């Protein structure tokens, strides 16, 4: 939940939108609205606090979902204050709009003031669901590996509470489960309700159904003195199957998203470019509209993919220097396009834009290649590394020497650099988990943490290490299946430039008039004095340029979305670069396609 003062200030920002409009237009009602909106916001905030009792139930729900240790009364007061400020500002903006309508001085831009005025209402109403959703998303990734660890602890004679105690210290690996463990410990120790009751009480507030059910099942068996080892092994197996099913559901969702994406971001620009038949002015207007619509639709679908995908907390970040370089290349591409066109050099806009997008994407990808490479290679090589260590342990070597032997093998370049550093830190006397703490891959950190726990609790038992390999196998198989099925859509994206080339090549002879021997069509006058269509090569060239410009934006957005779905991060930009560069030969192949269509369908004009 946002701070109450900030949430009260947001509605007042509507004055910052309608204020400049009022000054430039001289609109009296808008001037009044710009002055009264901040006053109404703060007055509504004060009045709203009087109704805080009505929101105490919702405040308790928010506090539980976000695991915040705040007073429900104070939280209810902040919620009611924010809602009061928002309602007051909305009423002021609505009054300004109505007065402007009645005085015939209405400006549609005044409606933009409703955005900041109504924002706190939506932010407040969504706060509980957002907190619960974020908590559930984090648990979805960590829950299977925690259950595997719990089965290991049970095999060593421990309980689920003991497993939570160990996880509470591993905040770098189990970010969310460690918070849940801390809350359980607080209830057990400070509230004095005991370990079993604290686990049960907290499990009822967890939004992740599978995790909550697993904890309640374990405590039920614990109370009755049942077989904890078999119970937790069964729950661990269920958790691993849940992980596999989650990746499968995500892959199915991606298929639906890509169908929508292909229709909206590819077929829409193709259709818009054909408005050249109506006239060049219509095409330019449509292109301008599509320049804003396409990135917006792409962003919406990208966020949908991000929301649906399993969140893997790898350590990967874009530094400021790389971002500045990318923006510089993009600005340079725009400047080159302007200079080339001003100088009369015959280099089309689509070619310049495609090259600019491709070079910018490659620049960012090259800067991020080390981080991306380490994560990707870890997921491929980690299983072999752990398997070697397990086999060495079976041969009677200590865990230390088993890991040293595994680290001495040859791996892919980036993973080789990691295991070399890992081996060096082991030699320096660091524990397994601390030696692996520098890994960017979350999978590497959680697997080596589990091995460290097996070494500490179970004497590095090969039987327990096989449980770790089983978890790693489930994860790797699910990820590979998801990647393989998603990559099919990537090939469709790579084909998009040539699909566009073929479609424009089929329409080009009709628009240019070459299908009719180079003569213009004699069309009857359009009804009500509307525009008539006269084919010309200039009109066809405009159609191709504008169409390809929109298609580059659409296909690049599509490639970025699919790449995000494959890698679970947005930095696999080499795929965006490939898509953009493919538009260059596709653009220059349109005349060839056009000539082929003309020779095939209109042989009498050849």
Asked whether residue 191 carries a pLDDT value surpassing 60, the answer given is yes
Same domain for 148 and 106:
no
The gap from C-alpha 272 to its chain's centroid, in whole angstroms, comes to 28
Q: Give the pLDDT mean for 344-361.
A: 84
Give how many domains the chain has, as a whole number: 4
Q: Which residues contact 87 (CB under 8 A, 6 or more apart)?
A: 44, 48, 121
pLDDT value at position 280? 52
* pLDDT higher at 319 or 111: 319
Asked whether residue 29 carries a pLDDT value surpassing 70, the answer given is no
| Beta strand extents in 351-480 (DSSP E only) | none
Q: Is residue 244 part of a domain?
A: no
What is d(CA 15, CA 500) in angstroms, rounded to the nearest whole number?
Answer: 46
Q: Is residue 391 part of a domain?
A: yes
Burial 524-540 (b: 16+ CB within 10 A, else e): eeeeeeeeebebeeebb
Same domain for 507 and 364:
yes
Q: How confident is the model at residue 470 (pLDDT cuts 50, 70, 90)?
A: very high
Domain residues for the domain of 453 are: 376-476
pLDDT value at position 2? 47
Residue matched to tokens 């469709």: 492
Asked whether residue 443 carries a pLDDT value surpassing 80, the answer given is yes
Give the CATH number, domain containing residue 421. 1.20.81
Same domain for 486 and 361:
yes
Q: Is residue 43 part of a domain?
A: yes
pLDDT value at position 71? 63
What is d(CA 49, CA 51) in angstroms, rounded to the nearest whole number?
Answer: 5
Same domain for 362 and 254:
yes
Can you spell out the DSSP letters for 491-518? Answer: HHHHHHHHHHHHHHHHHHHHHHSGGGTT
Same domain for 357 and 268:
yes
Q: How confident is the model at residue 142 (pLDDT cuts 50, 70, 90)?
A: very high
Asked whether residue 3 carries a pLDDT value surpassing 60, the answer given is no
Among 461, 476, 491, the domain boundary falls at 476
> Quick one: tokens of 213?
């059910």
Same domain for 165 and 120:
no
Q: Is residue 243 part of a domain?
A: no
What is d(CA 178, CA 160) in angstroms, rounded to the nearest whole number?
Answer: 13
pLDDT value at position 61? 67
pLDDT digits (tens, 9 = 90+) for 558-600: 899 889 888 888 888 899 999 999 999 999 998 888 788 777 7
Same domain for 554 and 483:
yes
**Percent of the chain having pLDDT more than 70?**
75
Among 80, 108, 133, the domain boundary falls at 133
Same domain for 117 and 14:
yes
> Quick one: tokens of 293?
């619509």
Asked whether residue 442 carries a pLDDT value surpassing 90, the answer given is yes
Half-sphere exposure of 176 (CA within 13 A, CB side): 26
Same domain for 427 and 345:
no
Residue matched to tokens 């229709």: 263
Among 460, 476, 492, the domain boundary falls at 476
Q: Is residue 484 part of a domain?
A: yes
Asked whether residue 514 carries a pLDDT value surpassing 80, the answer given is no
**Percent of the chain having pLDDT more than 90?**
28
Same domain for 193 and 125:
no
**82-86, 352-356, 484-488, 548-552: least confidently modelled range:** 82-86
Closest-CA residue to 462 (of 389, 401, 409): 389
pLDDT value at position 166? 94
**69-83, 184-198, 403-417: least confidently modelled range:** 69-83
**308-322, 397-411, 417-431: least confidently modelled range:** 308-322
Q: Give the pLDDT mean for 478-505.
A: 87
pLDDT value at position 473? 94
Same domain for 400 and 317:
no
Q: Is residue 434 part of a domain?
A: yes
Same domain for 282 and 403:
no
What is d(CA 317, CA 323) in angstroms, rounded to the nearest whole number?
Answer: 11
Q: Is residue 199 part of a domain?
A: yes
Vertex 320: Cα angle to 317 and 321 (nearest 5) = 115
> Quick one: tokens of 178?
């460690």
Q: Give the pLDDT mean for 484-510.
A: 84
pLDDT value at position 122? 65
Average pLDDT, the chain: 80
* pLDDT higher at 298 or 354: 354
Asked whether residue 68 carries a pLDDT value surpassing 70, the answer given is no
pLDDT value at position 504? 82
Alpha carbon distances (Å) from 236 to 96, 114, 250:
60, 50, 21
- What sign for the dihedral angle of Cα 82, 88, 92, 98? positive
Asked whether residue 16 carries a pLDDT value surpassing 70, the answer given is no
- Number of neighbouring beta carbons within 10 Å of residue 579: 28
Q: How confident is the model at residue 91 (pLDDT cuts 50, 70, 90)?
A: confident
Q: Is residue 65 part of a domain?
A: yes
Q: Give the pLDDT mean for 227-255.
A: 90
> Quick one: tokens of 411?
């791996």
Output the pTM of the full model. Answer: 0.78
* pLDDT higher at 521 or 143: 143
């Amino acid at each position: 939940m946002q701070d109450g003062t900030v949430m009260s200030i947001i509605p007042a920002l509507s004055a910052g939108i309608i204020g400049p409009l009022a000054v430039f237009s001289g609109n009296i009602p808008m001037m009044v609205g710009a002055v009264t909106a901040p006053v109404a916001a703060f007055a509504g905030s004060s009045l709203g606090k009087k109704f805080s009792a009505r929101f105490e139930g919702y405040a308790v729900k928010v506090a539980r979902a976000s695991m915040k240790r705040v007073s429900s009364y104070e939280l209810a007061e902040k919620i009611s204050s924010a809602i009061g400020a928002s309602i007051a500002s909305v009423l002021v903006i609505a009054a300004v709009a109505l007065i402007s309508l009645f005085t015939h001085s209405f400006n549609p831009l005044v409606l933009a003031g409703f955005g900041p005025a109504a924002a706190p209402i939506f932010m407040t109403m969504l706060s509980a669901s957002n907190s619960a959703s974020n908590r559930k998303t984090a648990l979805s990734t960590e829950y299977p590996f925690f259950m595997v660890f719990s089965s290991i602890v049970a095999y060593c004679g421990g309980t689920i509470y003991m497993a939570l105690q160990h996880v509470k210290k591993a905040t770098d690996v189990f970010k969310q489960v460690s918070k849940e463990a801390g809350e359980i410990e607080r209830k057990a120790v400070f509230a004095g309700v005991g370990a079993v009751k604290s686990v049960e009480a907290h499990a009822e507030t967890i939004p992740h159904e599978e995790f909550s059910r697993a904890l309640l099942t374990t405590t039920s068996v614990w109370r009755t003195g049942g077989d904890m080892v078999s119970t937790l092994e069964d729950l661990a197996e269920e958790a691993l199957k849940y992980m596999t099913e989650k990746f499968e559901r995500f892959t199915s969702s991606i298929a639906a998203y890509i169908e929508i994406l292909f229709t909206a971001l590819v077929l829409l620009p193709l259709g818009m470019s054909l408005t050249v038949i109506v006239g060049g002015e219509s095409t330019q207007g449509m292109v301008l509209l599509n320049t804003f619509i396409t990135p917006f639709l792409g962003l919406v679908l990208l966020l949908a993919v991000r929301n649906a995908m399993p969140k893997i907390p790898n350590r990967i970040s874009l530094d400021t220097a790389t971002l500045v370089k990318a923006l510089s290349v993009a600005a340079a591409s725009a400047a080159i396009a302007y200079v080339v066109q001003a100088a009369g050099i015959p280099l089309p806009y689509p070619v310049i834009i495609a090259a600019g997008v491709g070079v910018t994407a490659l620049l960012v990808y090259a800067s991020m290649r080390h981080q991306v490479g380490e994560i990707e290679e870890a997921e491929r090589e980690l299983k072999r590394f752990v398997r070697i260590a397990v086999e060495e342990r079976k041969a009677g070597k200590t865990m230390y020497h088993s890991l040293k032997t595994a680290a001495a093998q040859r791996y892919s370049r980036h993973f080789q650099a990691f295991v070399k550093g890992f081996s060096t830190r082991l030699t320096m006397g660091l524990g397994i988990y601390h030696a692996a703490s520098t890994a960017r891959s979350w999978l590497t950190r959680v697997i080596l943490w589990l091995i460290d726990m097996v070494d500490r609790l179970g004497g590095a038992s090969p039987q327990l290490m096989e449980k770790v390999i089983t978890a790693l196998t489930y994860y790797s198989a699910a990820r590979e299946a998801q990647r393989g099925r998603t990559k099919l859509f990537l090939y469709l994206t790579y084909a998009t430039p040539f699909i566009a080339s073929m479609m424009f090549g089929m329409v080009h002879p009709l628009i240019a008039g070459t299908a009719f021997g180079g003569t213009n069509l004699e069309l009857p006058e359009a009804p009500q004095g509307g525009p008539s269509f006269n084919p010309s090569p200039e009109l066809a060239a405009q159609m191709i340029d504008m169409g390809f410009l929109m298609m580059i934006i659409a296909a690049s957005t599509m490639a970025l979305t699919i790449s995000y779905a494959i890698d679970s991060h947005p930095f696999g930009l080499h795929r965006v670069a490939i898509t953009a560069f493919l538009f260059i030969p596709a653009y220059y192949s349109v005349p060839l396609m056009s000539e082929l269509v003309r020779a095939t369908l209109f042989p009498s004009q050849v």
